[in-house]
Structure 1
Amino acid sequence: MKKKIQFSLVYRDMWQSSGKFQPRKDQLERVAPAIIDMGCFSRVETNGGAFEQVNLLAGENPNEAVRAFCKPFNEVGIKTHMLDRGLNALRMYPVPDDVRRLMYKVKHAQGVDIPRIFCGLNDVRNIIPSIKWALEAGMTPQATLCITTSPIHTVEYYSNIADQVIAAGATEICLKDMAGIGQPAMLGKLTKAIKDKHPDVIIQYHGHSGPGLSMASILEVCNNGADVIDTAIEPLSWGKVHPDIISVQSMLKNEGFEVADIDMNAYMRARTLTQEFIDDWLGYFINPGNKHMSSLLLGCGLPGGMMGSMMADLAGIHRSINSTLKSKGQPELTTDEMLVKLFDEVAYVWPRVGYPPLVTPFSQYVKNIALLNLLTMAQGKGRFVMMDDSMWGMILGKSGKIPGTIDQELVELAEKQGRQFTDADPHTLIPDALEGFKKEMQDNNWDFGQDDEELFELAMHPEQYRDYKSGMAKKRMLADLQKAKDAKLGAKLTPEEVSAFKHAKADAIVSPFKGQVFFDFEGSSECVPCLEPYIGQHYKEGETFCYIQTPWGQFEPVPAALGGKLVEIAARQGSRVNRGDVIAYIERDWINS
C-alpha cells in the first residue's frame, strides 16, 4: 500500500466560491458535528480571506463565528486552517505590520492552527514576515505557492520560492491552484522536487474544479509525495468550487493509497444541512453559473470564483461597445463573441503586465485592464488609456515584485504620466496603525473583546466593522435579502422600490460644492473630454471619482467614498450640481479569493 493521504474540508471556501455570504455562527455550529462524524477529515478550513468581511457585511460578529466553528474540531484533534493574504492579510489592500502581527495572536487564541500564507505575486517579502509572526504566536505557518501556467512559472521558479520560505521557518507548503489551470504533470514534478529536497515538509494541494483538471492534478501530486488534499461536499462541490471528497477518496483508494473511510450517514447529514442553509437564505446569493465547470477558463486563466462578477462587468462594457459599433454602422457583438474577445484580451494583457498569478487582487486588475481595453479600442483610442491607480500599482511594483517583465509600451506610458516604478519592500511602506484604532475603541467605549479580537476586527476591516457596530450592515443585508427573495418569487417591484433596494446597500457620492461635474482634467484649468464611468466600474477607497469645477474656477476632487462597484450615475459629464446633490452610488465590494 502507498503512503497515507489526509483530507481537508474547505467548507467555508465552498461558500465563497459559490456566492457572497457565509453561513451564520449557528449554522456552522450545527454542521460541525456531522463533519467530524464523517471520520475522513484531518483538517477543516475555518477562516480566512474575505470570510470575516462577509460576516460583518451580513451584520454578524466574525470572531464569534470563528471561535464557534473551531471549538468542536479543536476538541477532537482535527486541525484548523485559514487563508491569509500575506501583505493584505484578510482584505484586498495592504495591512500595517502591527495589525498583521496581532492577527496571529488573535487567530491562535480563537482556535486556528494553521495560517495558509500567500502573496498573489509569490513575492517572499510578503510571506516571510507572516511566517515569523505565526511562529511567535504558536501557529504552524503554511507558505503558499500560487500556481499558474506561463513561460516563467516553471518547476524551478516555484522550487526556488519553496526553498526560501522553508528556510524562513515554514514547515508546510500549499500548492494553491486557485484557477485550477495548473497542468497536472507540472504539479507532479513540482511536488517531487520539493519533497526530494525537503522530505519532512508537509505538502497540501488546493485546486478548484473550474476547468476540469483538478482530479488529474490530485492524482499527480499524490503520486509524487503530497500529504493533504483539499476537498468539498455536495451540494457545493464541483463547478467552480472543489472536487467532492467521495470521488477523491475513491480514486486514491483505487490507486493504492491509505485513505480514511467516509461515514456516509454523516456525509448525508452534512449534505442535508448545507442544502438547508442554501434554502434558508444563502442560496439567494449563489451565482448559478458557479455551479458549472467551464473549459473556457483554461484560455484566460482567471479564477472560477470571478466568473460571476466578470460577467456582470462584461454586460456593462458589452452595451457600451455595441452602442459604439451601432453608431459606426458596424455589426454588434453577441455575448459569446464578447466573452471570446475578453479572454483573448486577457491573454494579450497578461504577459505585458509581467505574468502576475491570477489570484485576488491581481486577477481583478488584469481582468479590468482587459475590459477597459476592449472599450477604448472600440472607440478608436487604443489600449491602456483607462487604467486606475490600483492597476498601475500592480504594474509599478507597489504590491510586490512582478514575476515577469513589464512591456516597454507600459514603461514608456508610466514615464509619460510621471509614474515611478519601485522595488521597495512593500510592507515597509505602510505605517503602523494599531494605536489609532485603540483610541477609536476607547472613544466609542467599545469592548476590546476576548484576546483583543474586537480591536483586531476594527483594525483589519474598519469600514465594515463600523457599519456592523452601528447596525447599518444588518439593515443593508436584510434589504438585499428581501430584494433577492422578491426577485425569485417573481414579485414586481416599483421603480421606487428597486431604487430603494439599490441605495440601501450603496454609498452615495455627494457633491461637496456647487459647480460642474467632470470625470477627468489635465493641469489646473483645462478639462479633457472623456468617457463617463460605466456601471460596474470598480473604485478603491478614497480614489477620486470625479471633479467639481467650482464657481471660482477651482477643480475639487470628489472621492469614491469607501470604494466598490459603481451601480448608478446620477450626474453626467458636464452636469451642474448644487452642494449636497448625489452624483452617483457605489456599492461596496463582495470580495472573492
Structure 2
Amino acid sequence: MKREIKFSLVFRDMWQSAGKYVPTVDQLVRVAPAIIEMGCFARVETNGGGFEQVNLLFGENPNKAVREWTKPFHEAGIQTHMLDRALNGLRMSPVPADVRQLFYQVKKAQGTDITRTFCGLNDVRNIAPSIQYAKEAGMISQCALSITHSPIHTVEYYTKMALELIELGADEICIKDMAGIGRPYSLGQIVRNIKEKHPEIPIQYHSHAGPGFSVASILEVCDAGCDYIDVGMEPLSWGTGHADLLTVQAMLKDAGYIVPEINMEAYMKVRSMVQEFMDDWLGFYISPKNRLMNSLLIGPGLPGGMMGSLMSDLEKNLESINKTKMKNNQALMTQDQLLIKLFDEVAYVWPRVGYPPLVTPFSQYVKNLAMMNVMQMEKGKARWSMIADDIWDMILGRAGRLPGPLAPEIIEKAKAEGREFFTGDPQSNYPDALDKYRKLMNEKQWEVGEDDEELFEYAMHPAQYEAYRSGKAKVEFLADIAKRKAEKAKAGKPAEAAPAPAPTVAPAGPVVMSLPTTPQTMTVDVNGQAYKVTVNFGETETAPATPAVPSTPSAPSAPSTPSAPASSGEEVLSPLEGKFFLVKDTSEAPLKVGDVVKEGDLLCYVEAMKTYNAVRSEFNGTVTAILPAAGDSVSEDDVLMTIA
C-alpha cells in the first residue's frame, strides 16, 4: 500500500472557472454542511482571487461572506485556503505594502488558514513579502509556481524557483497549473526535484482540465511525492474547471494510494445544490462551452479561470466588432470565428511581450492585448494601437521582471510614447495608502469594521467598494439579472405566442434573435430602500433607478446614464464598452469642467475586461461637459465628455 493522498475542494475556483460570479453567502452557508458531510476533504478553498470583488459586484459585503463561509469548516477541523496575487493582493493591479500586510491579518481573523501566494510573473521578489506577512499573521504560507509551457519555463526554471521560495520561508509549495497545459512528465520531475531536497515540505497540485492533461498529471505528481490534490465536482468539473473528485479518487485508489472514502449521499446533496444555484441565477453567467474539454487550449495556454469570464466578455466584444461591420456593409463575424482569431493573436502577442505566465492578472493582460489588437484590426486600425496602462506596467517592468525579452516592435513603441523601463523593486512604485483611506472613511462616516476589515476592503477595491456602499452595485446587478431572465424567457417562447420580425441570418454568422422591444420595469430592494428599475433592450442602456418610495438621506444614490452633451465642442467617445471612471484611484486628481487639456493628456478611463483603459485627448481645448458619472456603464461610441 502506498502513502496517503489528501483532497482539497476548490469550491471558489469551481465557480470562477465556469463563469463570472460565485454563490451568495446564504447559498455558501447552505452548502457547507453537505461538503463537510462528504467526509473526504482535508481542505476547502473558500475565498481569494476574485471572491471579494465578485461579492462587491453583486452588492454584498465580502467580509461577511468570508467569515460566515469559513466558520463551519473551522468547526469541522477542515483547513481553509485562499488564493492571493502577491504584489496585486486580491485585485488586478499592484497594492501598497501596508495594504498587503493588513490583508493577511484580516483574512486570518476572518477564518482563512492557508494563503496560496503566486506572482503572475514568477518574480520571487513579489512573493517574498507575502511569506513574511502571512507568517506574522499566523497563516500557513503556501507559495505557488505558476506553470506554463514555453522555451523559457523548463523543469530547471521551476525547480530553482521552488527552492528559492523554501529558502525564504515558504511552508508549502503549490504546483499551480492554472491552464492545465503543464506536461505530466515534466510536472512529475519538478515535484521529484523538490521532494529530493525537501521531503518535509508539503506539495499541493492544482490544475484545470480544459486541454486534457490534468488526470495524467495528477497521477504523475502523486507518483513523484505530491501530498494534496485539488479537485472539483460536477456539474462544474471538467472543461474550464477541474478534474472531478470521483475520477481522481477512483484512479488513485486503483494505483494503491490511501485515499478518503466519499459519502455519496452527501455528494449528491452538494451536486444538487450546485445545480440549484446555477438554475437560480449563476447559470446566466456560465457559457455552455465552458463545460467542454478543448485541446485548442494547448496552443494559447489560457487558464480556466480566465476562460470562464472570457466567454462572457466575448459577447460584448463580438457585438462591438459587428457594429462596425454592419456600418461598412461587411459580413458579420461569429463567436467561433472571433475565438479562433483571438487564440491566434494570443500566440502572436505572448512571446513578443516576454512570455509572462498566463495567470491572473497577466493572462488577462495578454488576452486583453490580443483582443484589442483583433478588434482594432477588424475596424481597420493598427495592431498595438490600444494598450491599457496596467498592461504597460507589465511591459515596462513596474509589476515585476518579465521571464523573456520584449520584441523590438514593443520596445520601439514604448520609446515613441516616451515611456521608461523600470528594473527596481516593483513594490517601491506603490507607496503606503492606509492613512489616506482611513481619512476618507472618517470623512464619509464609514466604520473601519471588525479587525479593520472594511478599511482593508476599501483600500483593496476602492471603486467597487464605493459602488457597493452606495447601493449602485446591487441595483445594476439586479437589473442585469432581470434583463437576462427576460431575454431567456423571450427566447424560449413559441413563435406564435409573441409575433416578432423574422430572424436575420448574417452572411457568415449565426441567427440574430430578436429581443423584447418594450422596456421591462421591476422593483428591487437595496438596504431597505425600494427602487424601480427599467430594463431596456437592444442598444439602449438600463434606465436610471428611481425610488419607489420617498427617498431618505441614507438611501443609496441611483445610477445614472450618459445623456446628450450639455455643452458644445469636440466629442470624446468611448473606445469600447465598460464602466466610466475619471480616476483609477485616489492618487489621481479627477478632471473637471473648465480644465484645460492638451492633445495626448489623460482624460478618463473605461474599465473593461478587468483593466482600466486610458482615454486621452485628441485635441487641445477646455472641458465643457463630463457626461457619465463614476461607475456608469457606457457603450462603445458613447459621448464621455466634450472639449471646446
After TM superposition, is the score higher than 0.5? yes
2:575 aligned residue: 533
Deviation, structure 1 residue 393: 1.7
Q: Following the alignment from structure 2 to structure 1, what is the Cα–Cα distance between the partners of residues 191 and 127? A: 20
- Structure 2: unaligned runs, 5 residues or longer: 492-515, 520-533, 546-557, 612-616, 636-644
Q: Following the alignment from structure 1 to structure 2, what is the Cα–Cα distance between the partners of residues 368 and 325? A: 25
- 8 Å CA contact retained: 1:19, 1:285: yes
Deviations 1:437-469 (A, max 9, x none): 222232333232222212211221222222222
Residue 494 in structure 1 maps to residue 518 in structure 2? yes
Deviation, structure 1 residue 382: 4.6
* Aligned partner letter, 1:163: L
- 8 Å CA contact retained: 1:208, 1:214: yes
Q: Following the alignment from structure 2 to structure 1, what is the Cα–Cα distance between the partners of residues 373 and 405? A: 20
Q: Following the alignment from structure 1 to structure 2, what is the Cα–Cα distance between the partners of residues 279 and 177? A: 30
- 8 Å CA contact retained: 2:98, 2:434: yes
Q: Following the alignment from structure 2 to structure 1, what is the Cα–Cα distance between the partners of residues 570 and 592? A: 5
Deviation, structure 1 residue 317: 6.0
- 8 Å CA contact retained: 1:516, 1:550: no
Counterpart selection for 2:571 from 508, 517, 522: 517
Residue 311 in structure 1 maps to residue 317 in structure 2? no
**1:124-273 pair list within 5 angstroms:** 124-273=124-273
- Structure 1: unaligned runs, 5 residues or longer: 520-531, 567-571
2:603 aligned residue: 558
1:411 aligned residue: 411
1:402 aligned residue: 402
Q: Following the alignment from structure 2 to structure 1, what is the Cα–Cα distance between the partners of residues 200 and 328? A: 60
Q: Following the alignment from structure 1 to structure 2, what is the Cα–Cα distance between the partners of residues 444 and 22? A: 29
- 8 Å CA contact retained: 1:349, 1:370: yes
Q: Is the partner of 2:112 in helix, strand or coil?
A: coil
Greater RCO (CA < 8 Å, at least 6 residues apart) = 1
CA pair 404-26 structure 1, distance change in 2 beyond 3 A: same
CA pair 408-320 structure 1, distance change in 2 beyond 3 A: farther
Q: Following the alignment from structure 2 to structure 1, what is the Cα–Cα distance between the partners of residues 62 and 596? A: 48
| Range that drifts further, 535-544 or 557-566 | 535-544
CA pair 349-200 structure 1, distance change in 2 beyond 3 A: same
Q: Following the alignment from structure 1 to structure 2, what is the Cα–Cα distance between the partners of residues 238 and 308? A: 16
Deviations 1:482-526 (A, max 9, x none): 11221221182526732353777987578797521256xxxxxxx
* Aligned partner letter, 2:39: G
CA pair 487-310 structure 1, distance change in 2 beyond 3 A: closer
Deviations 1:37-73 (A, max 9, x none): 1111000011101101111221211111111111111
Q: Following the alignment from structure 2 to structure 1, what is the Cα–Cα distance between the partners of residues 178 and 582? A: 23
* Aligned partner letter, 2:518: T
Q: Is the partner of 2:199 in helix, strand or coil?
A: coil
Q: Following the alignment from structure 2 to structure 1, what is the Cα–Cα distance between the partners of residues 156 and 278? A: 43
Deviation, structure 1 residue 354: 0.7
CA pair 318-182 structure 1, distance change in 2 beyond 3 A: farther
CA pair 292-416 structure 1, distance change in 2 beyond 3 A: same
Deviation, structure 1 residue 247: 0.7
Deviations 1:109-150 (A, max 9, x none): 111110000111011111010000000011100001111110
CA pair 143-428 structure 1, distance change in 2 beyond 3 A: same
2:435 aligned residue: 435
Deviations 1:365-411 (A, max 9, x none): 21222233334545665532332322222111111100011112211
Residue 579 in structure 1 maps to residue 625 in structure 2? yes
2:447 aligned residue: 447
CA pair 539-203 structure 1, distance change in 2 beyond 3 A: farther
Q: Is the partner of 1:205 in helix, strand or coil?
A: strand
- 8 Å CA contact retained: 2:191, 2:226: yes
- 8 Å CA contact retained: 1:145, 1:173: yes
Deviation, structure 1 residue 551: 12
TM-score (normalised: structure 1): 0.87
Deviation, structure 1 residue 191: 1.0
Cα root mean square deviation, aligned: 3.4
Equivalenced residues, count: 569
Q: Is the partner of 2:490 in helix, strand or coil?
A: coil
Q: Following the alignment from structure 1 to structure 2, what is the Cα–Cα distance between the partners of residues 272 and 336? A: 31
TM-score (normalised: structure 2): 0.81
Deviations 1:516-574 (A, max 9, x none): 1256xxxxxxxxxxxx7244699995499x999989895575312666689xxxxx999
- 8 Å CA contact retained: 2:342, 2:374: yes
CA pair 561-541 structure 1, distance change in 2 beyond 3 A: farther
Q: Following the alignment from structure 1 to structure 2, what is the Cα–Cα distance between the partners of residues 48 and 308? A: 22
CA pair 3-452 structure 1, distance change in 2 beyond 3 A: same
Q: Following the alignment from structure 1 to structure 2, what is the Cα–Cα distance between the partners of residues 554 and 179? A: 43
Q: Is the partner of 2:81 in helix, strand or coil?
A: strand
Q: Following the alignment from structure 1 to structure 2, what is the Cα–Cα distance between the partners of residues 83 and 553? A: 42
- 8 Å CA contact retained: 1:7, 1:43: yes
- 8 Å CA contact retained: 1:238, 1:244: yes
- 8 Å CA contact retained: 2:28, 2:69: yes
CA pair 313-195 structure 1, distance change in 2 beyond 3 A: farther
| Range that drifts further, 302-311 or 507-516 | 507-516
Q: Following the alignment from structure 2 to structure 1, what is the Cα–Cα distance between the partners of residues 122 and 595? A: 50
Q: Following the alignment from structure 2 to structure 1, what is the Cα–Cα distance between the partners of residues 237 and 289? A: 13
Q: Following the alignment from structure 2 to structure 1, what is the Cα–Cα distance between the partners of residues 192 and 451? A: 41
Deviation, structure 1 residue 103: 1.0
CA pair 294-587 structure 1, distance change in 2 beyond 3 A: farther
1:522 aligned residue: none
